[in-house]
Amino acid sequence: MATAEFGLAVRRWRDQIPPDPARPTAGGVRRAPGLRREELALLAGISVDYVTRLEQGRASNPSPQVVEALARALRLSPDERAHLHQLAGLALPEPGTVPNAIPPAVQRMLDRLVGIPVAVFDASWTLLQANPACIALLGDPEAWRGNERNRVWRHFIAPGGVGRYAPNDLSALEIALVSDLRASQARYPADTRLRQLIIDLRTGSTEFARLWESGTVAGFETTVKTIDHPLVGEITLDCAVLTVAGSDLRIMIDTAEAGSPDAERLSLLLTPRETV
């Protein structure tokens, strides 16, 4: 059970993080010296009300996933992360589980990719962070919970998907996603969350189950996808997946050819959000 010190620690660390000028925030005069509760909630993927109750000591049983998400959003060091788990009355995740920390050097790089849709995933393809451009393009993931935050689950099971692909690109992407998830399971055998995700995918998608059983292995290539956006219409983008050695992150970056109609539509879509 989390102690009252848990909420105080979260508030102290929140106050120490300078706000990101590239992220849109609510209007008004900024009174907090660091992140607002709304900003921390967005980064951690939890509700503002829950952050408030945690900080005020009115929520005393945060899950391991919530504590990990807060530690990541607050950019805690390994020692600080361990301390936050201790305050929550939780043991640190076992070795052999999927890491979800974004190293400061990687975060600084991500902060500079303004105007380019970027999403960061862990080795299970669970969303860790989406920048403002990605949110403008694909929607706000703040309300997503559980498997809804997983890129593979959203591709194979969630209605609507995340874009349209040419047949060859779609096949290559699906094989790469399944292959990558299979490799992650081998690297992190103690991760029960990853194990359950794979069970859910094999049960819920015949195509995922077929690819999983086939044992096909392939890496990621740049694919082309088309987003049907309600504000600016069709946007066709090149989608690249970068991996980060050590932290085992996947960074998905969407770009349009400079000067193309797609680049103009993307710029039009981002302009209102980038200037708030």
pLDDT in tens, 196-242: 999 999 999 999 999 999 988 888 888 899 988 888 889 999 999 99
Could you tell me the pLDDT band of residue 154, with boundaries at 50, 70 and 90?
A: very high
- The crossing angle, in degrees rounded to 10, of helices 64-73 and 37-44 is 120
Q: State the DSSP string of 140-177.
A: --TT--GGGGBHHHHHHTSTTTT-EE-HHHHHHHHHHH
Domain ranges of the chain: 4-87, 104-274
Mean predicted lDDT score pLDDT of the chain: 85
Q: Give the three-state DSSP class for 70.
A: helix
Fold of 104-274: Beta-Lactamase (3.30.450)
State how far the Cα of 233 lies from the Cα of 137, in Å rounded to an integer: 11
The secondary structure of residue 215, as a DSSP letter, is T
Q: Which of the pair, 271 or 8, is modelled with greater confidence? A: 8
Strand-pairing partners, residue 254, are 239
Fold for the domain defined by 4-87? 434 Repressor (Amino-terminal Domain) (1.10.260)
Rounded to an integer, what distance in angstroms lies between the CA atom of residue 217 and that of residue 86? 40
125 touches 148 (CB < 8 A): no
Give the pair of three-digit tokens for residue 242: 């970068």
Comparing C-alpha atoms, which of 23, 57, 56, 28 is closest to residue 40?
23
**CB-CB contact of 173 with 211 (8 Å):** no
**What's the rounded mean pLDDT across residues 159-184?**
87
Query: What are residue 233's DSSP bridge partners?
Result: 229
Query: Over the stretch 98-141, which tens digit does the pLDDT of each residue have?
Result: 888 888 778 888 888 888 999 999 999 999 989 988 988 888 88
